[in-house]
Structure 1
């Protein structure tokens, strides 16, 4: 497979890995939108959020657990952070492998309510 995130998860492409286990890999975004911008990617390939079903929901729960741990480790847990996922073209997804953005370290713009 020629998926860049699959290749990062497999160790074929170097990245600043912050967390890796059997379910997910987390690494710094190469074009950060905030002082802390980490991508959390399931090791299993999903093109987008719509492909997740059944037992795969435990992977999504694990992603949030890892995000909370990383926010604490990066020193943004108390001040606040955002976890974002874009799914599909109209949702703003650029890479065709499901991934979650952990953003923080400054006042983030946009008010979702």
Structure 2
């Protein structure tokens, strides 16, 4: 491999790594992680929430800012900051979260009309709480998840 090609590849790797998250986002993320997850505070009953489901591994509740007629957050009790930190040992837990989303959709009568399950990871996706969670949205027509790139 030519030295210029190698240096170009190295530059791209370094440059893309630096742009992965802005400095302000990294600072805010670190601050929020240091102060602790509000979801853990809900799990520990330190913050109030309208809880719709709870077992030994998962809790589901209505978020403070609802974005659809049915909007629930499905949160593992295990504090995992982003999906990037999940590992093979978390596979069953993540699968149970998806199955719970389907169960809650049925209980809320949105299983037939349609619903969305989404997770946001890091800056470009708008993650603001660093404890993975799933949004269950439905009960009305939902807009596109993102703008199309044509």
Both structures adopt the same fold (TM-score exceeding 0.5):
yes
Q: TM-score, normalised by structure 2?
A: 0.71
Q: Could you say if the C-alpha distance between residues 7 and 111 of structure 1 is closer, same or farther in structure 2, counting changes exceeding 3 Å?
A: closer
Q: 1:67 pairs with 101, 104, 107, which one?
A: 101
Greater RCO (CA < 8 Å, at least 6 residues apart): 1
Counterpart position of 2:63: 29
Give the drift of 1:29.
1.2
SS at match of 2:49: coil
5+ residue gaps in structure 1? none
Deviations 1:72-100 (A, max 9, x none): 11110110000000011222111111110
Query: Partner of 1:86 in structure 2?
Result: 120
Please give the alpha-carbon distance, in whole angstroms, between the structure 2 residues aligned to 1:13 and 1:110: 32
Structure 2 counterpart of 1:55: 89
Equivalenced residue count is: 113
Ranges of 4+ aligned residues in structure 1 off by more than 4 Å: none
Query: Which structure has the greater CA radius of gyration?
Result: 2
The alignment's TM-score, normalised by the length of structure 1, stands at 0.94
Over 3 Å counting, the alpha-carbon distance change for 1:32 and 1:111 in structure 2 is: closer
Greater per-residue strand proportion? 1
Secondary structure of 1:63 counterpart: helix
Equivalent residue in structure 2 for 1:76, among 94, 101, 110 = 110
Rounded to whole Å, the distance in 1 between the matches of 2:125 and 2:87 is 19
Residue 15 (structure 1) aligned to one of 41, 46, 49: 49
Which has the larger displacement, 93-102 or 103-112?
103-112
- Name the one with the larger helix percent: 2
CA distance in 2, matches of 1:65, 1:54: 18
